[in-house]
Amino acid sequence: MRTNHSRRTAVTATASALALALVGCSSGGDEDAADPEGSGGVTTVTFAASTFGDPGRGPLLLELVDEFNSSQDEIRVSAAAVPYPTFGQTVLTQMGSGLGPDLIRFDMPEFASASEAGLITPLDDYIDLEEYDLLQQPDQFMVHDGVRHGVIFEASNYGMFYNADLIPEPPTTFEEFVQTAEELTEGDTFGLAFRQTQEEEAGVWQDIFNYVYGFGGAWSDGEELTINRAENVEGLEAYQSLYDAEVIPRGADAATFRRMFAEGKVGMELNNGGYVSATQGQAPDLNFSVAPIPFPVRAQGTILAPIVINEASPAKEAAATFIEWVLQPENQVKLQEILGASSVATVTERSPETLEETPFLTVFDELTDTSLPHVVLGFESRTPDIRKIVVENVLASLQGEVSMQEALDRAQEEAVSLVG
């Protein structure tokens, strides 16, 4: 294990809102770095993440990067904020050409694709991770084919957000969930909201994931696809029953119904921990809380975001130094405070002050061991293609074209043909 004190420096982080199509890896190596700003042989490491552009958390993440830079003498991390919709494909294209940022905060499908293509540096070659108290359950997804390619930067579990003025006691069963949604729906107020249009394919996938796993289902057994298994059908029939009951604002996109939630026009929504800070920022006076999703099985989705080192980077040692710094206990606490309701790579303890202000944060923390990333296990790199097939067929069932059983039978057949 290398020590950090030999590489300490003081430089200032900058956020480059740059198009990654024009960004290559850091041109300086670990010992003989290029010095584009005349700062005396400092190795510049580019760290790309869509969250740097988040209006709430982005500035705080930049402050954390700036704090790292102030602790170093030979390394400088330059943060690149890249829009979420184009992030994954842009970075993968760059990495495939031997370019791209040195450090990347990936989402799981792109992480799997990059791992499978050999585009990510094995971290065990640079960091002794046995030194850290890593989260047990979600950390398993950082290993691809027996090789560790990443560590968790953020794990944002899904829970049930509810308006506490409209719902003093949250539902604890699916039957109560349906009853509450029906009782609240009147006029321009709806009991529930979720995505149900092809234009929001990725969001629909995240929403239906909770119904599939929450009813004991799974998209695969790790080796074979199981899209049309009985539990999946049951879960998605439950999803359709809420659509058919007209307890949601049909046709409304996520931006619209989240605004409605902030205005007290939607009673419940299933969302991840990142939504806490967004809701607090949009509606600081809204009296809302969070409870576990009240489905038969305690299993739900999580936005799992690894931090990785580009295999093409000439500054791997410097990039690893930043990851090591982030993994230090005091910095993990700082990162978790920035991320709010999300978990980080290691086991941390929230302060009494934080819990007094937002007591439901413990709900998200307790869900970490039962949360799963939005990928098809065993078919991680093919998830975007499988997702498209599943969502198209599920939405066909919502529109009354076929039954949910028929929709998932067709999705199974199409997906099996796709993956061979």
Regarding whether 379 and 263 lie in a shared domain, the answer is: yes
Regarding whether 412 and 294 lie in a shared domain, the answer is: yes
- Which token pair is 220? 């695969």
CA distances from 13 to 43, 49, 50, 61, 105 (A): 13, 14, 16, 10, 17
Regarding whether 307 and 295 lie in a shared domain, the answer is: no
DSSP string for 254-272: HHHHHHHHHTT-EEEEEEE
CB under 8 Å to 34, separation ≥6 — which residues? 26, 27, 28, 44
Regarding whether 75 and 173 lie in a shared domain, the answer is: no
Cβ contact 260:251 at 8 Å: no
Per-residue pLDDT tens for 281-291?
889 999 999 99
Cβ contact 274:341 at 8 Å: yes
**Can you give the CATH number for the domain in which 406 is found?**
3.40.190.10
**Chain Cα centroid distance, residue 79:** 19
Mean pLDDT of 234-260: 96
Regarding whether 272 and 226 lie in a shared domain, the answer is: yes
Above 90 in pLDDT, residue 8? no
Range of the domain at 255: 158-301+375-419
- What confidence score (pLDDT) does residue 5 get? 36
C-alpha span between 79 and 359 (Å, rounded): 32
Amino acid at 294: P
C-alpha span between 352 and 403 (Å, rounded): 50
**pLDDT band for position 27 (cuts 50, 70, 90):** very low
The mean pLDDT value of the chain amounts to 90
Tell me how far apart the terminal alpha carbons of the chain are, to the nearest angstrom: 43
What proportion of the chain, given as a percentage, has pLDDT over 70? 90
Q: If you compute the radius of gyration of the chain from its CA atoms, what whole number of angstroms results? A: 22
- What confidence score (pLDDT) does residue 220 get? 98
CA atoms lying within 13 Å on the CB side of residue 166: 24
Regarding whether 64 and 26 lie in a shared domain, the answer is: yes
Mean pLDDT of 255-260: 95
**Chain Cα centroid distance, residue 368:** 13
Residue 195 within any structural domain of the chain: yes
Residue 366 within any structural domain of the chain: no
Per-residue pLDDT tens for 143-175?
988 999 999 999 999 999 999 999 999 999 999
Regarding whether 212 and 101 lie in a shared domain, the answer is: no
Mean pLDDT of 292-301: 98
Residue 35 within any structural domain of the chain: yes
Residue 369 within any structural domain of the chain: no
Q: What is the DSSP letter of 382?
A: G
C-alpha span between 103 and 83 (Å, rounded): 16
**Chain Cα centroid distance, residue 13:** 24
Regarding whether 135 and 279 lie in a shared domain, the answer is: no
Q: Structure pTM?
A: 0.86
Backbone φ and ψ of 404, nearest 5°: -65, -35
Regarding whether 102 and 42 lie in a shared domain, the answer is: yes
Cβ contact 413:384 at 8 Å: no
Q: What total number of domains does the chain contain?
A: 2
Regarding whether 332 and 387 lie in a shared domain, the answer is: no
Per-residue pLDDT tens for 202-244?
899 999 999 999 999 999 999 999 999 999 999 999 999 999 9
Regarding whether 405 and 292 lie in a shared domain, the answer is: yes
Per-residue pLDDT tens for 312-369?
999 999 999 999 999 999 999 999 999 989 999 999 999 999 999 999 999 999 999 9
C-alpha span between 17 and 65 (Å, rounded): 15
Regarding whether 162 and 141 lie in a shared domain, the answer is: no
CA distances from 109 to 56, 75, 90, 174, 210 (A): 25, 30, 14, 30, 17
